[in-house]
Amino acid sequence: MMTPRERLLTALNHRQPDRVPLDLGGNQTGIHKVAYEKLLKKLGLREKLVIMDLVQQLAKPSEAVLRRLRVDTRYVWAGGAKSFNGKVVKRKRGGRTWSDFTDEFGVTWSMPQDAPNYYDISHSPLAGLSLDRIRAYPFPKGDDPTRFEGLRERALQLKRETPYAVVSGISGVVYEICWYMRGLENLFMDMMEQPAALETLIDRTLEFWMGWFRLFLDEAGDVVDVIMIGDDLAGQTGPLFPPRIYRQIVKPRQKRLVQYIKSRTSAKIWYHTCGSVIEYIPDLLDNGIDILNPVQIAARGMDPARLKAQFGDKLSFWGGGIDSQHVLPTATPREVREHVRRNLQAFKPGGGYVFNNVHNIQADVPPENVLAMYDAAYEFGRY
């Protein structure tokens, strides 16, 4: 039997391990607090709920849960700058009570107390501003050393004291932060009418992440096994915006970041984008990524067998184990088991595959289906 770390690295080097590695617990491979509480009850576990992702309301899985599901990964995160106060405050609006917080970029996120499932953007600070005011807008410092206090110690503890693969939390969000700050509709209009606004913003976000990664890699570049970055580029049927805009403006900045990371670490680079992203896979490979997540198999052109045949020798797939929209929430455990079996049959030959749901396990997923998914992945993932 391989250790979990050996198993994951063998798979990511496109060799067959003893079984497919299993993952749970990241910002895009996590579990919603409601689903987690139901899972705890099903397992007869009493634990204090810890939220590890405020916006998505994801729970931090405990060691007991991770071991029951035979998960091979453990996550380590940097923090926020100590000078930043991201406190959640309660406010009354429109006859409802809201929880609000403002992030370091000035974006306000809100969640209604009568439907506390997620935070959504309620204020984009650059909406309506001129290009000159966008250029003058104060950005946070990515290379604030207080973000990384204790990071090396936490990462080394996982590396030295556990057998698990060490994976970073999500970072390197070069493009998406631009629309958080500008507003999605405004940024799409900028692409057509004043692309300089997008170029100005994306250069500032790239500057933030280049500084962030300089210190992150100083602290943990020799420890982590996988580094997660990502920007959503596609929807259900294809790219979210014209591919020429991606290739002219977004891709060069992404590539610069990926190449910088790879120049300083041997960790594999994990890239997250939802949707029908098959058109962009050659671009992402050219950028230097090693892994694609979440592999949205229900989106157009994202058939597991096609993806594996076309890109499986160059790209590892992390996710895609079950359709999270149409199967996992509503199917019977037996149907979940069969769905996992079929997808593993397509993805696992030759290595290059890590099992997970397509994105996070959402609030409406029954605990029986969570257990059926991971038990099937363990059973049918053996080589």
pLDDT reported for residue 232: 96
Q: Give the pLDDT band of residue 1 (cuts 50, 70, 90).
A: confident
E runs forming strands in 77-224 = 89-93, 96-102, 108-112, 120-123, 165-171
Residue 88 lies in a domain: no
Residue 127 lies in a domain: no
> Radius of gyration over alpha carbons of the chain, in Å?
20
pLDDT reported for residue 198: 95
Q: What is the average per-residue pLDDT within 220-244?
A: 97
Contacts of 134 (CB under 8 A, 6+ apart): 126, 182, 197, 200, 201
- Domain region containing 355: 4-83+143-380
pLDDT reported for residue 136: 95
- Burial code (b: 16+ CB inside 10 Å, e: under 16) for 320-339 equals bbbbbeebbbebebeebbbb
pLDDT reported for residue 187: 96
Residue 105 lies in a domain: no
Please report, rounded to a whole number, the percentage of residues in the chain having pLDDT higher than 70: 100
CA distance 86 to 253: 28
Q: What is the average per-residue pLDDT within 88-113?
A: 96
Model confidence at 76: pLDDT above 90 = yes
pLDDT reported for residue 191: 95
pLDDT reported for residue 359: 93
CATH number of residue 271's parent domain: 3.20.20.210
pLDDT reported for residue 134: 94
Q: Give the pLDDT band of residue 113 (cuts 50, 70, 90).
A: very high
Residue 111 lies in a domain: no
Q: Give the pLDDT band of residue 153 (cuts 50, 70, 90).
A: very high
Residue 89 lies in a domain: no
pLDDT reported for residue 257: 98
Q: What is the average per-residue pLDDT within 252-276?
A: 98
Residue 247 lies in a domain: yes
Q: What is the average per-residue pLDDT within 6-28?
A: 98
Pairing of strands 226-230, 268-272: parallel
Residue 24 lies in a domain: yes
Q: Give the chain's domain count.
A: 1
pLDDT reported for residue 250: 97
Residue 20 sits at the vertex; the CA angle it makes with 16 and 23, to the nearest 5 degrees, is: 140
Q: Which tokens hold the place of 350?
A: 């030759």
Model confidence at 86: pLDDT above 90 = no
Q: What is the average per-residue pLDDT within 124-129?
A: 95
**Using one digit for the tens of pLDDT, what is the confidence trace for 281-339?**
999 999 999 999 999 999 999 999 999 999 999 999 999 999 999 999 999 999 999 99
Please report, rounded to a whole number, the percentage of residues in the chain having pLDDT higher than 90: 99
**Using one digit for the tens of pLDDT, what is the confidence trace for 156-169?**
999 999 999 999 99
Residue 297 lies in a domain: yes
Q: What is the average per-residue pLDDT within 242-250?
A: 97
